[in-house]
Amino acid sequence: MSDQIEERIATGFYPPGMRLDETELAASFGVSRTPIREALIQLAAAGLVEIRPRRGAIVTEIGPHRLCEMFEVMAELEAMCGRLAARRITESEQRVLIEAHHACEAARDANTPDIYYRLNEQFHHLIYAAGHNIFLEEQASALHRRLRAYRRLQLRVRDRMGTSFSEHAGIVEAILAEDSELASIRLREHIVVQGQRFADLVASLPMLDSFNHG
């Protein structure tokens, strides 16, 4: 239930700032208000919606400043994953990572951003897992999901796939060389510049303001 609502938030069907009426949602999903309320509470705990007491729930709106902060933390989590992965990755995980990297390359060459988007997610999740710290993997995945709705905007950036892929290449290289510090630095940078691009984009899109406040 909450997954379905989360999906609608991630795809922008429920845009940031939109009011989520319990009765409407219940009717929309063909259930009573009870499971809807429970789903909203879950999503609120995950940070995807905000519940204002006695005033209903809205999809969380993240301003450019906060988005920067979140990407700053995401960058650090991914850097940590990379540092651990460089030390702990197994041979079979190495093979899968290289394979995922090559799949990204194919999507770049085919110029298919939507496929690249999906493969990119897989690539990063492989690094989360290769750190062999399950709690860290969970935290990184959770924050990654939370930023999903904003990552959509990435599709607008010019030559995103090209720069992203070459950064990936450097990351893979560092991990395979077991150079934990280099892997950490390159992953951090990879995420931070993304965050800055997103924040700029959000700040420059008056469209979102009309969503948010209108």
Give contact residues for DNA (rule: CB under 7 A): 1, 20-23, 31-35, 37-38, 51, 53-57
Residue 45 interacts with its own copies (CB under 8 A): yes or no: yes
- Say if CB 47 and CB 186 are below 8 A apart: no
How near is the Cβ of 138 to DNA at its closest, in Å? 21
Q: Identify which range of 71-79, 94-102, 117-125, 169-177 contacts its own copies by CB under 8 A.
A: 71-79
User: In what order do the strands lie in the sheet containing 49-52?
Assistant: 19-20, 56-59, 49-52
Indicate which single residue of 22, 69, 93, 189 sits in contact with its own copies (rule: CB under 8 A).
69
Q: Which is nearer to DNA, 35 or 170 (CB)?
A: 35
CA 168 to CA 184: how far, in whole Å? 12
User: Are 126 and 100 a contacting pair, CB within 8 Å?
Assistant: yes
How far out from the chain centre does Cα 99 lie?
Answer: 21
Q: Which stretch binds its own copies (CB under 8 A): 21-29, 31-39, 103-111, 149-157?
A: 31-39
* 141 lines the binding site for its own copies (CB under 8 A): no
5 with 14: CB under 8 angstroms? yes
**By CB under 8 A, residue 139 contacts its own copies:** yes
Please select the residue that binds its own copies; options are 133, 141, 196, 212, rule is CB under 8 A. 133
Residue 42 CA to residue 58 CA, distance in Å, equals: 13
CB 151 within 8 A of CB 9: no
Q: Which of 73, 110, 155, 177 binds its own copies (CB under 8 A)?
A: 73
Would you say 77 and 192 are in contact if contact means Cβ atoms under 8 Å apart?
A: no
Q: Which residues bind its own copies (CB under 8 A)?
A: 34, 37-38, 41-42, 44-46, 66, 69-70, 72-73, 76-77, 80, 133-136, 139
